[in-house]
Amino acid sequence: MSEVTEHPSAQGVPLEASSPFEMRVQLGEHVPETDVRSALRSGDMGFLHSFTTGSAVDGPGIRLVAWTTACMFRCQYCHNPDTWTLSNGIPVALERAIEEVQKYANGLRAMRGGFTLSGGEPLMQDRFAARLFAAVKDMGVHTAIETNGYFGDRLSDEELRSIDLVILDMKAFTIDQHRRVTGLHNEEVIEFCKRLARLSRPMWLRYVLVPGLTDIPEEMRKVADFGASLGVVNRAEILPFHQLGRFKWEKLGLDYHLAATEPPSAELVAQAVGIFREAGLDAS
């Protein structure tokens, strides 16, 4: 593959963002298609929205988080729809991404934190993800991935061993509800979870609570019971819906169906947490 650097439109844009909610678009749109395809095959380059530092919600301890672009789901509640498209990301050479993590490695180890790869959906850039995780693992830094699990079969068992924690955002359990929320089915997601259980890989389970969309008690019970049956889910997190990403939908000209939806009440969140705890999960 020919060497690909940041396009002039991306130069001067720092890798570190003030927030994952920062709007970033079109930063890789002029990378030649042949280079994009080669990068996806080899992992020599990744497309990143940004890095953020000091996260306390993306895995254990204090985390450095890299946010990838490209996602196959179209979740109605997505707060970063600018990460749906690969070409919105900054084209970053694998070596540069490794160097970025290396800058923080000593501090991450000292704080018992680590590195998390999120998105978008990181496994849409599976070769880049696998190679980056292997390098970070060699630094002695804890690794985690935030994924929807749809492309989990793209990672070998050996590559999964470079990931200390899989944080799986489970959108739904039944196929019809999953299609309603994301636009796609979830057979691959379920199978990936079962595979992680067979391999005894630690997991966290996440569920976004959206009034009128995902606040279905029976659906939550199915998600919770499935998570508990795996035997490797160490934590379940109920994430209350918010409107922090609404402006991105508007700026991107996307049809946002949840404009009138309020965040869930404390009572509704407590009910959801209770359902997951009743299944035997450590939920909050």
How confident is the model over 66-94, as a mean pLDDT?
96
Instruction: For tokens 């030649």, name the residue.
Output: 32
pLDDT at 194: 98
pLDDT tens figures, 8-58? 545 677 888 877 788 899 999 889 999 999 999 999 999 999 999 999 999
**Domain-wise residue ranges, the chain:** 48-86+93-278
Measured over all CA atoms, what is the biggest interatomic distance in the chain, rounded to whole angstroms?
A: 55
pLDDT at 17: 81
pLDDT tens figures, 199-226? 999 999 999 999 999 999 999 999 999 9
pLDDT at 18: 74
Sheet of strand 142-147, all strands in order from the earlier edge strand to the far edge: 90-93, 45-55, 63-68, 114-118, 142-147, 165-169, 203-209, 233-240
Residue of 239, 212, 238 whose CA lies nearest to 224 = 238
| Residue 1 in this model has a pLDDT that exceeds 90 | no
Pairing of strands 90-93, 63-68: unpaired
pLDDT at 11: 65
> What is the rounded average pLDDT for all residues in the chain?
94
- HEC readout, the chain: CCCCCCCCCCCCCCCECCCCCCCCCCCCCCCCHHHHHHHHHHCCEEEEEEEEEEECCCCCCCEEEEEECCCCCCCCCCCCHHHCCHHHCEEEEHHHHHHHHHHHHHHHHHCCCEEEEECCCHHHHHHHHHHHHHHHHHCCCEEEEEECCCCHHHCCHHHHCCCCEEEEECCCCCHHHHHHHHCCCCHHHHHHHHHHHHCCCCEEEEEEECCCCCCCHHHHHHHHHHHHHHCCEEEEEEEECCCCCHHHHHHHCCCCCCCCCCCCCHHHHHHHHHHHHHCCCCEC
**Phi, then psi, of 209 in degrees rounded to 5:** -100, 110
Instruction: For tokens 């595979």, name the residue.
Output: 195
Residue of 161, 164, 67, 55 whose CA lies nearest to 104 = 55
CA–CA separation, 235 vs 207, rounded Å?
A: 11
- Judge whether 250 and 256 are in contact, CB under 8 Å: yes
The architecture that CATH gives domain 48-86+93-278 is Alpha-Beta Barrel (3.20)
pLDDT at 2: 41
**Phi, then psi, of 5 in degrees rounded to 5:** -115, 175
pLDDT at 21: 82
pLDDT-derived band at 177 (thresholds 50, 70, 90) equals very high
- Judge whether 149 and 168 are in contact, CB under 8 Å: yes
Tell me the residue length of the chain: 284
pTM of the model: 0.94
| Residue 182 in this model has a pLDDT that exceeds 90 | yes
| 31 CA to centre of own chain | 24
| Residue 120 in this model has a pLDDT that exceeds 80 | yes
pLDDT tens figures, 234-277? 999 999 999 999 999 999 999 999 999 999 999 999 999 999 99
- Taking the CA atoms of 257, 262, 263 and 268 in sequence, report the sign of the dihedral they define: negative
